Structure 1
Amino acid sequence: MTAPDSVPLYVLTEDNLASASPDLLRAMIKTFADALMSGEADTLCGAEYGQVSDERVNHRNGYRPREWDTRAGTVELAIPKLRQGSYFPS
Structure 2
Amino acid sequence: MAAITRLIGAILLEQNDEWAVQRSRYMTLESVAPLGDDPLTSLPPVAAA
TM-score using structure 1 length = 0.28
Q: Which has the higher strand share?
A: 1
Q: Report 1 or 2 for greater relative contact order, CA contacts < 8 Å, sequence distance ≥ 6.
A: 1
TM-score using structure 2 length = 0.50
Q: Which has the higher helix share?
A: 2
